[in-house]
Amino acid sequence: MSEEPIGWQTALSGTPSDKRRLSARVACREDNPARVVVSDGQLSRWARARDVSLGGIGLLLSFPFAPGTPLSIHVRPGPGGPTFDWQADVVYSVRQTDGNWRMGCAFGSPPCEPELRALL
């Protein structure tokens, strides 16, 4: 990543309709070795983390989950490292031109900063 991560607690300014994101979003490295699995309790899928903030995570998957679906997100940052389990709700799913799906998810309670940094 070419730029330094910005502060997690950065709030948006602007009109009330612009204030959907309450914390800064940081792009995940393209070469990050993290393994991400998402599950709705019935179906599990591999995913790739695209960006993350204290409020949520952007994922790329081959299969969409419907907005409003509660998910368990299981993250293993690298070989032999610790694993993290987060709870989130799907906010949106958008089909990409390559056939994959971009999903935005909101965390029920924010993970701690060291957990989030494992994805950067």
* Nearest partner of 86 among 43, 57, 47, judged by Cα: 57
Q: Where are the domains positioned within the chain?
A: 16-117
Count of residues in the chain: 120
Measure the CA–CA gap between 54 and 76, rounded to whole angstroms: 18
> What SS3 class is residue 115?
helix
Domain 16-117 has CATH 2.40.10.220: yes
| pTM (predicted TM-score) | 0.76
More confident residue, 25 or 51: 51
pLDDT digits (tens, 9 = 90+) for 65-83: 999 999 999 888 777 778 8
Residue 46 has pLDDT above 80, yes or no: yes
Percentages helix, strand, coil for the chain (3-state, rounded to 5) are 5, 40, 55
pLDDT digits (tens, 9 = 90+) for 12-43: 333 333 445 456 777 777 776 677 889 999 99
* Nearest partner of 60 among 80, 30, 82, 85, judged by Cα: 30
The pLDDT value given to residue 92: 94
